[in-house]
Amino acid sequence: MLRQHGDESAHSTLDVLWVLYDRILRYDPKNPRSEDRDRFVLSKGHGPEALYAILAAKGFFPIASLKTFMAWESILGSHPDRNQVPGIEASTGSLGHGLSMAVGMALALRLKKSERRVFALIGDGECNEGSIWEAILLAGSRQLSNLTCIAMNNHSSSLELGDLAAKFAAFGGLPRRSMAAHMHKSMRHSREEMTHARWLLSQRSNSELSISLSAEGKMKT
Amino acid sequence: MNMRQQMVKTLEELMACDERLVVVLAVISYSLFNQTTSAFAKRILNLGIMEQTMVSVAAGIAMEGFIPVVHSITPFLVERPFEQIKDDFCYQQLSGKFISTGASYDYSTEGMTHHGSGDVQILRSLPGMQIVVPGTPGEFDALLRESYANGANTYFRLNVQSNPREYPVRFGKLAVLKRGKQATVIAVGPMLAAVLPAVENMDVTLLYCTTVAPFDGETLRETSQSSNIVLVEPYYGGALTPDIWAALQQSPIRIEAIGVPHQLLTHYGTPRQHDEAIGLTPQGIRCRIEAFLA
């Protein structure tokens, strides 16, 4: 396995992705574009191995596909492609696009009067991109209660970001830490479930669990 | 009515009968739309001055089955969020309609930050991107109605000035306005106003092009009776030369590409003054053609 710049990204996102796909998101792996699904966007696009492993574990595509990662005929590249990988909502990789696309999905779901939700995962490095802050400003001003943005802060940004939660709050979203508790509870569970994807799990980094942002107008505890 | 006013009229008419259409704006032109009373007001989204996010948000809206129409002044629609158009629409194989206002030096008094002479060359680099350059508001109306639901990404280049006469144009088709033997002249969109008088009494074929991409090489091949090709474009000149080479590769040809010169335009004044300074006038174009054919 080639080591990529995304490896640390994959390790840092594993827990939060497992909690999302195991406890929170509604989806049907046999009908990945079902209207009645929650949407998840890996905004930063880097390190999609964790997401691939979880999508495979949940039945979106065969686990055997994981072994083809980055090979010529693989559907799995080191940035995800929505037109090739069942369960991938957005082709990301260029930082700062995914959260804005998630805002667009949330606005569109609202137009459709859908009750489904949109989740986007961004990284602290990605938070150097101006378009992330455009999207947060917009999500806050539109009171997008159907959008949840999860920011992984594993201090990979070379630019000191300071108190990320305070920055999100200042831009109009309310910081929420409630998911962290869910995550810790499920971590052991996730390790057991994911052994068939051990190519990824062999080295977990000690990334700090994230703060998460909800752009909801009102907070529930 | 100018092209921008026509855009608002046509989009409002289309939105009233097609619930898939969503207009996504970054302030520019928002005040021209009927924002409160109409049934489709919720589908006009003015996001604020954030063009990168405007394009990505539109892509997210397209993912949910809508047809987003994105609009701004040319450099803020094409150049600033170019990567969002490339990645979020083209690479993801989504469909959006991109309508600019202020072509080349239309905003002559605003300086080069507000000029848009490079848009067509830039967008031609995107696989599958369709580029429409109408010459009148009515032609824009017809071309938008014909292509808005075609599932592709389409760029409409709206000009402040319009041609004095309107032609029945079809998306993806060259219109044959005149047949002759000395040269084949291709006039793109609003250049027709200057080209028509420029080629008066000349023995040339005159083709009127309102769809730059995909280019109608077939009509060019069928109608061209000369190895001399004159291309007159309202943006940086020469964008269509690869398409002309490809269409006429069986025969040796010469191309005279007339358009906005690839240089900094530091004057203000009026668009007309810019036309005169760079020779995009009937006299200037006729001189170039005569010299080319001499």
The pLDDT of residue A221: 23
Residue B86 has pLDDT above 50, yes or no: yes
N- to C-terminal Cα distance for chain A?
43
Distance from CA of B127 to the nearest CA of A (A): 16
Residue A213 has pLDDT above 60, yes or no: no
Q: Does B22 touch chain A (CB under 8 A)?
A: yes
Confidence of residue A156 (pLDDT cuts 50, 70, 90): confident
Confidence of residue A15 (pLDDT cuts 50, 70, 90): confident
Distance from CA of A15 to the nearest CA of B (A): 26
Q: Does B35 touch chain A (CB under 8 A)?
A: no
Helix (H), strand (E) at residue A149: strand A147-152
The pLDDT of residue A1: 37
Lookup result for tokens 């040796």:
B252
Which residue in B43, B61, B91 is closest to A104 by CB distance? B61
Distance from CA of B263 to the nearest CA of A (A): 30
Q: What are A115's two structure tokens?
A: 């009750």
Give strand ranges (E) for chain B.
21-25, 44-46, 67-73, 97-101, 130-132, 154-158, 174-178, 183-188, 204-209, 211-213, 228-236, 254-260
Which residue in A93, A108, A112 is closest to B60 by CB distance? A108
- Mean pLDDT confidence for A46-75: 95
Predicted TM-score (pTM) of this structure: 0.91
Question: ipTM for the complex?
Answer: 0.96
Percentage above 90 pLDDT, chain B? 97
Residue A3 has pLDDT above 70, yes or no: no
Helix (H), strand (E) at residue A120: strand A118-123
Residue B194 has pLDDT above 90, yes or no: yes
* 8 A C-beta contact, residue A164 and residue A122: no
Distance from CA of B73 to the nearest CA of A (A): 19
How far apart are alpha carbons B184 and B178 in whole angstroms? 9
Q: Which residues of A touch B26 (CB under 8 A)?
A: none
CB pairs under 8 A between A and B: 89
Classify B22 as helix, strand or coil: strand
How far apart are alpha carbons A121 and A151 in whole angstroms? 6
Q: Are A90 and B52 inside 8 Å of each other by CB?
A: no
Residue A164 has pLDDT above 90, yes or no: no
The pLDDT of residue A207: 29
Q: Does A83 touch chain B (CB under 8 A)?
A: yes
Domains belonging to chain B, first-starting first, are 3-157 (3.40.50.970), 174-293 (3.40.50.920)
Which residue in B42, B52, B60 is closest to A104 by CB distance? B60
